[in-house]
Structure 1
Amino acid sequence: MTTTTTSTSSTTTTDLSSQLAAAAQSIISGATNSTMDVNSLVQTLVAAKTVGQSTIITNKQTSDNTELSAVGQIKSALSSLDTALAGFLNGSALAQMQAAVTGTGVTATTSTGAVAGTYSVAVTNVATSSTARLNPIATGTTFNADTLSIQVGSGAATSVTIKAGASLTDVASAINKANAGVSAAVITATDASGNVNQYLTLTSTQTGSNTAISISDSGGANAALASVQSSTTGVDANVSINGIATTSASNTLTNVLTGVTLDISGAAANSTQTLTVSADTSASASAIQSFVTAYNNYVTTAGKLSSYDSSTSTAGPLLGDSMTNGITNGLASLISAGVKSGSTTYSLASIGLNLQPDGTLQVDSTALQTALTSNPTAVNAIFNSATGIGAKLDTFMSSYIQTSGIIDQRTQALNQDLSNLQDQATQLTNYSNELTAQYTAQFSALNTLMAQMQNNTNYLTQLFGGKNSAGSLATNK
């Protein structure tokens, strides 16, 4: 929308009149006694020829930039609304599930594919790590430069470099830095005779029966580092879900129950707990609230940009704009129409989304929670991924916000207009510079001529006399 401002033009006309009057006086003064102010005169005359067009260009640039910003805000609000609808379009917003487990020691999380149900989880034993302990080594012992080889289960062996003079603590640090699949630590103990010894202990970072630890002194320089005093091989977890037994090397079970991850690491041996998977109505309510927030954001944004403030006589940049009105009315029509499923039409108000006089939606949290819990049929119909309100709004908005859509075309037209205006401004500047040079040359020459005429007048007065002067020739008669 283009708006016309008259006050600026009126002020400019007044200023030019006063400037032209001053220029005329400058010419008069120059023709009589004083020298003309050429620069001021030239600036005034050039402004008289260019300021009108310059004002038109500047006002149009301001109008285009304001409109461009407003159109950008409309697209941003619509894009945010479309993003808030994504979970309803792919069905994930209402398909979120939650898991709860009785007792302690077992936790569960849900992901895509989880279905509602109740399951008995019986844990016979959890999976454990393998351990190994080397023979005791006297405190203060240092080792030769060497290479150790550590293997966990059937995996590849890892080489660990030991530097000359390393302590047992240094050895443990080197093993940990090598990521050999084990965690190394040093335990210091005093025996009954008062002897202080250190023990290097290794624990596999993974659990299960395939984690047995072996260590060898491949460099042959430190046999004590390969002398295992005792070792324990880890075991697999044994669990049954609804009476169906399974084993796992890990205490995190990801493939036993579709869409559910179980962590049994804290479970007591031979314990049974109940897992309940149900619809996560809180997550669904949150997704619906996000949709309402995004929709209301568009309504308030469009309303502000297309309103008129009578107290300040200020019009929004999109007041009366057909595109904005079309978007707002189209969205409002879809919202108020509800969704038809079979022979039943469900209004958004039926699940607690109430349309307000200003066009926004207000969420009745109690009514929405009741609908999610007791009337899922209505909720699923309204937000059906193919025929629900989200799908209808997305289809309607796509022609506006898609690449090269209506809004992009509007933006491109405004940018092209701004480019043309910049070209006009450049041409006007060039014209102004040419006029300045032309007028400067002309009035500088005139100024010189008038100065010469004034000098001649003074000389003739000195010779022949004039007003209040007899003249030198007159006195010699």
Structure 2
Amino acid sequence: MSTISSATSSTASTTASTNAALQQAAQSIISGSTGNSSLDVSSLATALVNAKTAGQSTALTTQKTSDNTQLSAIGTLKAALTALQAGLTSLSDGTMLSKFSATASGTGITATAGTGAVAGTYSVNVTQIATAQSLTSGAFAATQTLGTGTLTVSVGGKSMSVDVNSTNNTLSGIAAAINSASGNPGVTATIVTGTGGAHLVLNSATTGAANTIGVSVSNLNNNNGLSSLGVTSTAGTGSAASTITSSGSIAWTQSTAAQDAEFTIGSVAASSSSNTVTGAIAGVTLNLTSAAVGAAQTQTLTVAQDTTSQATTITNFVSLYNTLVTTMGTLTSFDSTQSSSAQGPLLGDPTLNTIKNTLSTIVSGGVGTGTSSTNLASIGITLQADGTLQTDTTTLNSALQNNATTVASLFNSTNGIAAQLNNRITSFVQTGGVIDTRTTALNNDLKSIATQQTTLADYTMQLTNQYQAQFTALNTLMATMNNNSQYLTQLFGGTNSQGSLSANKA
């Protein structure tokens, strides 16, 4: 409707402009024929060409604008559909209903529940957390050259070789060589300087009793303390800490022992090389810190349905659906008091109407069969007169906490509300769907318009050249005729004059 009105208005404007140009051209011909002036060839050619092509040119431009406007509107519609579909993922595949929360009663333990978690309560007592070993060498002079040789540095059964030569045989040079060595098994080195001198500090990057650090020295030359960098670590058993033995005369000390986390779940003892524990309780990840350690620190871990997250997911779905409805309303808006250009670009569009009606039918319908059918209103989500959904938060939370069966039915992964919406949106936006088909048709029309505009431009140029040649010739002819008329008038005289021949005869 708006496209037709716009085209009519544009055509009327073009017609008026063309008529004005033709009148100006006609006046040019009259003036030229009476000898008052020469023909305005350019204006004459332009006016006649416009008279023949302006209507078609305007129609093509109007259609191009309409197509581009509709393409943009279809893109907006598709974006809103895609956003809604993204928000449906956990509702349509059933994962939202398997979301659990895990909460500890004390400090030092946090937990997350994932796939495989089940509701329940657990008593957890942490007696020690997992730590990464840290070793500190004896003191050396900061610039002391230690000799040359090879250091083999190992962590948890993996090792690397570090060549110590005349370019790096100070404590800081050795630390830099360890940190930059290829194949580093997970150890970092730094220098700590105290009152007694400089110390090489080695830290394991990984916690756990098995990840102990070892350093052996070989190929010694000009030994001046390099042999004292040798150290052997022995992992502790059970809850025991690791121990170390120095190889040289300058002893190493163990700043932090390598040990596993030790804890109990109920009456079951367990350990972990990491403070992120994934295998102790099915589907639950425990995160331990030192604040949880202590015989009196037994805590209760509660795993329950995560109704807060579920409510957030459902209300987000409602919000996205309402955004889509609002978008479709804007794209199809109509106001009789406004001009045609102010109406919605997809007003009366069959593609949008199909999508709107299909989705509305799904959200207003039920899930199930016969008397067991249930709908969104049963959990506090009702369809409004304008097509949007409204959520009663109290009713929704009550349903999530007390009527999980109804919620599970509404959002089951087979024919639940979200599953139906997801399937229909997929059919709309996929290749070959109604949106793709409509977009392809509009793009094809734009290509056709471009071809027609090129053809019209070529025709316009050809016609312009033709008219310019014709009117130039006419201008020359009329100028010659005017000159001849003036000569004959001078010779024979005119209505109010006496020619030279007449005068001579007298």
Corresponding residue for residue 328 of structure 2: 302
Structure 2 residue 78 is matched with structure 1 residue 75: yes
CA shift in 2, pair 1:123/1:32, >3 Å:
same
Q: Given residue 131 of structure 2, which amino acid in structure 1 is its aligned partner?
A: T
Structure 2 residue 421 is matched with structure 1 residue 416: no
The one-character-per-residue Cα deviations of 1:15-64 (angstroms, maximum 9, x if unpaired) are 22222111111111111111000000000000001111112212222222
Could you tell me how far 1:143 is from its partner in structure 2? 4.6
CA distance in 2, matches of 1:455, 1:218: 119
Corresponding residue for residue 46 of structure 2: 43
Could you tell me how far 1:188 is from its partner in structure 2? 3.0
Corresponding residue for residue 206 of structure 2: 206
User: SS of 2:298's equivalent?
Assistant: strand
Give the unaligned 5+ runs of structure 1.
Answer: 191-195
Q: Given residue 100 of structure 1, which amino acid in structure 2 is its aligned partner?
A: T
Corresponding residue for residue 412 of structure 2: 384
CA shift in 2, pair 1:395/1:199, >3 Å:
closer
Corresponding residue for residue 189 of structure 1: 194
Task: State which of 113, 116, 121 in structure 2 corresponds to 1:113.
Answer: 116
CA distance in 2, matches of 1:399, 1:103: 50
Could you tell me how far 1:66 is from its partner in structure 2? 1.9
CA distance in 2, matches of 1:150, 1:199: 17
Structure 2 residue 336 is matched with structure 1 residue 335: no
CA distance in 1, matches of 2:399, 2:144: 73
User: SS of 2:133's equivalent?
Assistant: strand
Q: Given residue 111 of structure 1, which amino acid in structure 2 is its aligned partner?
A: G
Q: Given residue 187 of structure 2, which amino acid in structure 1 is its aligned partner?
A: V
- Structure 1 stretch displaced more, 124-133 or 13-22: 124-133
CA contact 1:120–1:274 (8 Å) conserved in 2: yes
CA contact 1:217–1:223 (8 Å) conserved in 2: no
Corresponding residue for residue 259 of structure 2: 235
TM-score by length of 1: 0.91
Q: Given residue 268 of structure 1, which amino acid in structure 2 is its aligned partner?
A: V
Q: Given residue 471 of structure 1, which amino acid in structure 2 is its aligned partner?
A: G
Give the unaligned 5+ runs of structure 2.
Answer: 229-245
The one-character-per-residue Cα deviations of 1:146-185 (angstroms, maximum 9, x if unpaired) are 6432112322234265662665344334433444522333
Corresponding residue for residue 436 of structure 1: 464
CA distance in 2, matches of 1:284, 1:82: 17
User: SS of 1:319's equivalent?
Assistant: coil
CA distance in 2, matches of 1:173, 1:250: 28
CA contact 2:148–2:220 (8 Å) conserved in 1: no
CA contact 2:162–2:177 (8 Å) conserved in 1: no
Listed as ranges, the matches of 1:350-361 within 5 Å are: 350-361=378-389
User: SS of 1:261's equivalent?
Assistant: strand
Identity among equivalent positions (%) equals 47
Listed as ranges, the matches of 1:257-276 within 5 Å are: 257-266=281-290, 267-270=292-295, 271-276=297-302
Corresponding residue for residue 353 of structure 2: 325
CA distance in 1, matches of 2:165, 2:294: 40
The one-character-per-residue Cα deviations of 1:293-322 (angstroms, maximum 9, x if unpaired) are 121111111111112112314432222223
Q: Given residue 82 of structure 2, which amino acid in structure 1 is its aligned partner?
A: S
CA contact 1:130–1:231 (8 Å) conserved in 2: no
CA distance in 2, matches of 1:274, 1:117: 10
CA shift in 2, pair 1:218/1:394, >3 Å:
same
Q: Given residue 220 of structure 1, which amino acid in structure 2 is its aligned partner?
A: L
The one-character-per-residue Cα deviations of 1:114-154 (angstroms, maximum 9, x if unpaired) are 22211122223222333333232134424556643211232
Could you tell me how far 1:442 is from its partner in structure 2? 0.6
Q: Given residue 204 of structure 1, which amino acid in structure 2 is its aligned partner?
A: S
CA distance in 1, matches of 2:380, 2:445: 46
Size of the alignment, in residue pairs?
Answer: 472
CA shift in 2, pair 1:205/1:397, >3 Å:
closer
Could you tell me how far 1:444 is from its partner in structure 2? 0.4
Corresponding residue for residue 65 of structure 1: 68
CA shift in 2, pair 1:305/1:120, >3 Å:
same
CA distance in 2, matches of 1:258, 1:358: 46
Corresponding residue for residue 23 of structure 1: 25
CA shift in 2, pair 1:126/1:18, >3 Å:
closer
CA contact 2:146–2:224 (8 Å) conserved in 1: no
Corresponding residue for residue 193 of structure 1: none
Corresponding residue for residue 238 of structure 2: none
User: SS of 1:403's equivalent?
Assistant: coil
Corresponding residue for residue 103 of structure 2: 100
- Structure 1 stretch displaced more, 206-215 or 290-299: 206-215
The one-character-per-residue Cα deviations of 1:86-124 (angstroms, maximum 9, x if unpaired) are 111221222221111122222222222222211122223
Corresponding residue for residue 11 of structure 1: 13
- Structure 1 stretch displaced more, 353-362 or 69-78: 69-78
CA distance in 2, matches of 1:422, 1:285: 52
CA distance in 2, matches of 1:456, 1:143: 120
Corresponding residue for residue 284 of structure 1: 310
CA distance in 2, matches of 1:166, 1:87: 59
Could you tell me how far 1:200 is from its partner in structure 2? 1.8
CA shift in 2, pair 1:72/1:132, >3 Å:
closer
CA shift in 2, pair 1:274/1:158, >3 Å:
farther
RMSD between superposed Cα atoms in Å? 2.4
CA distance in 1, matches of 2:168, 2:443: 73
Task: State which of 446, 455, 461 in structure 1 corresponds to 2:474.
Answer: 446
- Structure 1 stretch displaced more, 154-163 or 252-261: 154-163
Could you tell me how far 1:242 is from its partner in structure 2? 2.4
Q: Given residue 242 of structure 1, which amino acid in structure 2 is its aligned partner?
A: G
CA distance in 2, matches of 1:276, 1:223: 60
CA distance in 2, matches of 1:177, 1:306: 64
User: SS of 1:451's equivalent?
Assistant: helix
Structure 2 residue 269 is matched with structure 1 residue 245: yes
CA distance in 2, matches of 1:160, 1:374: 68
CA distance in 1, matches of 2:122, 2:38: 105
CA contact 2:31–2:39 (8 Å) conserved in 1: yes
Could you tell me how far 1:408 is from its partner in structure 2? 0.9
TM-score by length of 2: 0.87
CA contact 1:285–1:368 (8 Å) conserved in 2: yes
Task: State which of 347, 370, 374 in structure 2 corresponds to 1:346.
Answer: 374
CA contact 2:168–2:174 (8 Å) conserved in 1: no
